[in-house]
Copies of this chain bind each other. A is one copy, B any other.
Amino acid sequence: MSVASRTNLSVNGSRFWETIAASAAIGTGPEGGLRRLALDDADREMRDRFIAWCEEADYSVTVDRLGNLFARRPGRDESLPPVLIGSHLDTQAAGGRFDGIVGVLGGLEVLRSLDDLGIETQRPVEVVNWTNEEGARFTPPMLSSAVFAGLRELEWALAREDDAGVTVGAELDRIGYAGPAPVGGRALDSYFEIHIEQGPRLEAEGFQVGLVTGAYVARGMILKIDGENAHSGPTAMHLRQNAIVGAAMAAVAVNDVGWRYSWCDGKSTVARLEAWPNKPGILSDEARLFIDFRSPDAETTAKMEAEIRAALPEAARRSQCRIEVAEDWTFGDLAFDPDLLTLVRETAGRLEVPLLELPSQAGHDAYNLSKLCPTVLIFTPCKGGITHNEKEDTTLEDQLPGLNVLLNAVVERAAV
C-alpha cells in the first residue's frame, strides 16, 4: 500500500457501534448505564464476549495472572515489541457505557480495520483490557496496569479486598480469569489509549478530538480519625470524642480548600467516609476519610495540601479526636511521549481533524504505562462532561474522528 492510499484510513463506524451496544447489554444498570464491577459476573461475561470477538478474527488472546487480556494481531517481524492499544471494560457501580469501553472496543475496531484494509504492519499490534481500572470494587483504581508497569507488587494486588472482604485473587479464580502469563516484564513499543474526556471542554469548545498533553497534579490521602466509644445518650458534649464528627469537620475543611482554589480549576473531593461502629446508641471511636485534591500545576496542588494539613488540628481540637494522615499518594506527575504527541498532532492535521490540546483531570491506565514505554492519550467527547453516571452519553459521530486518528497513528507507529 502506498503512502498516499493510507493518508486517510477509516474504521468501520457501524461495526464499532455494534460492539458498544453489545457491551451495553452486559451488566445494564437500572437507568440504562452499566453496573459491571471488576471481576463480577457481568465482567466475566464481557470478557468472554471480547475474547470470542478476538478469536473470530484470529487474534491470539493471552490472559495474565491479574486477568489483563491481550489480543494480538501479528506483525511481519514478530520479534519486535508490539504497539499496544487499550483501556478497561469494568465500570463504576452506576457507570456509563463509554468510560474505558471506547478504548478497548475502539482498539478492537482498529485491528479489524487493519484486516479489512489488508494492511500488514511491521510490528505486532495488541489490544489490552486492564483489570479493575475503576477502583469501584477494589481500591485503588488502575490496579493492574500499575502492576504491569512495575509500580506495584503482584501479591499486593491479588490481596486487595472488596467491601465484603473478597480478594482480587479469589475473584479471578472464581470467574476463571487468573491467567498463566506473568504480569508485565515484557517490552512494548508504545501504548495508545483513547478515552472519553470525562469533562465538558471538547463539547463546549467545539472539538471532537483532544490530545492529552499532561495531567492535573493530584494528591490523595487517607485520614484516620481516632475518638472514643461512649454512650450516645448520657455523655456530656465536652466529654465526647465522636470520630464521625471529627471526620465530618475534616470533610468540610477539605471541601472548603477546593472552593478556595476553584478560580484556577483546583478541586477537592471527599470520596469515602467509613466509621466504626457507626451505629445508633454509641459514639464511633474510629473513622477513615478518603480525600483527594488536584489542580493544573504542582505548585498549586502543594498549596492545597498545605492548607488541608493546616486545617486538621482545628478539626481535631473541635471534635476532641485525633486526626492523622495515614496514607498519601500522588498521581498526574507524568509526561506523555514527545514523539507520540507529534505523531498524533501530525496525523490529525493530515486528516483535517481539529485537535484541542488539554490536560487530563482523571486518572487513566495511560498514566501507569507512561512510566514503562512511550505513551499517548487521546480524548473524545462525552455529553455535558457527565461521567461516572448512568447518564453518560455520546454519539458515534463524536467518536469516529478520534478513532480514525488512532487508526492512522497506529499504522504509522507500527510501520507498514
B273 near A388 (CB under 8 angstroms)?
A: no
- Residue of B whose beta carbon sits closest to that of A260: B237
Residues facing B in A363-397 (CB within 8 A) are 363, 385-390
How many copies of this chain does one complex carry? 2
A230 to B385, CA, bound (A): 9
B386 near A230 (CB under 8 angstroms)?
A: yes
Interface string of A199-228 (1 = CB under 8 A from B): 110000000000000001010100000001
A13 on the interface (CB 8 Å rule)? no
A62 on the interface (CB 8 Å rule)? no
- Residue of B whose beta carbon sits closest to that of A283: B269
A294 on the interface (CB 8 Å rule)? yes
Residues facing B in A256-278 (CB within 8 A) are 258-259, 262, 265-278
A319 to B255, CA, bound (A): 9
A262 near B238 (CB under 8 angstroms)?
A: yes
Interface string of A279-310 (1 = CB under 8 A from B): 11111010000101010000000000000000
B235 near A218 (CB under 8 angstroms)?
A: no
Q: Give the residue of B197, B248, B265 whose beta carbon is less than 8 angstroms from that of A248.
A: B248
A23 on the interface (CB 8 Å rule)? no
B385 near A281 (CB under 8 angstroms)?
A: no
Given contacts A93-B279, A238-B262, A269-B283, contact A231 B141 (CB under 8 A): no
Given contacts A252-B248, A255-B245, A262-B237, contact A232 B281 (CB under 8 A): no
A252 to B363, CA, bound (A): 31
Task: Determine the chain B residues whose CB is within 8 A of the CB of A363 once the complex forms.
Answer: 233, 281
Task: Determine the chain B residues whose CB is within 8 A of the CB of A274 once the complex forms.
Answer: 278
Q: Give the residue of B238, B270, B282 whose beta carbon is less than 8 angstroms from that of A244.
A: B270
B290 near A280 (CB under 8 angstroms)?
A: yes
Stretch at the interface among A102-110, A132-140, A400-408: A132-140
A236 near B265 (CB under 8 angstroms)?
A: yes
Given contacts A230-B387, A233-B363, contact A92 B277 (CB under 8 A): yes
Residues facing B in A312-346 (CB within 8 A) are 319
* Chain B: minimal CB distance from A216 (Å): 7
A233 near B93 (CB under 8 angstroms)?
A: no
A234 on the interface (CB 8 Å rule)? yes
Given contacts A244-B273, A273-B248, contact A233 B198 (CB under 8 A): yes
Task: Determine the chain B residues whose CB is within 8 A of the CB of A232 once the complex forms.
Answer: 269, 271, 292, 388
Task: Determine the chain B residues whose CB is within 8 A of the CB of A46 once the complex forms.
Answer: none
Q: Give the residue of B94, B136, B249 whose beta carbon is less than 8 angstroms from that of A281.
A: B136
- Residue of B whose beta carbon sits closest to that of A390: B229
Task: Determine the chain B residues whose CB is within 8 A of the CB of A140 once the complex forms.
Answer: 280
* Chain B: minimal CB distance from A117 (Å): 35
A231 to B267, CA, bound (A): 12
**Interface set of A (CB-CB < 8 Å, partner B):** 92-94, 134-136, 139-141, 197-200, 216, 218, 220, 228-238, 240, 242, 244-245, 247-249, 251-252, 255, 258-259, 262, 265-283, 285, 290, 292, 294, 319, 361-363, 385-390
14 residue pairs of the A-B complex, CB under 8 angstroms, read A92-B277, A93-B279, A136-B282, A198-B231, A200-B234, A216-B233, A228-B389, A231-B362, A233-B361, A238-B262, A244-B273, A249-B252, A271-B279, A273-B273
| 3 residue pairs, one from A and one from B, having the closest CB atoms | A199-B234, A248-B251, A233-B362
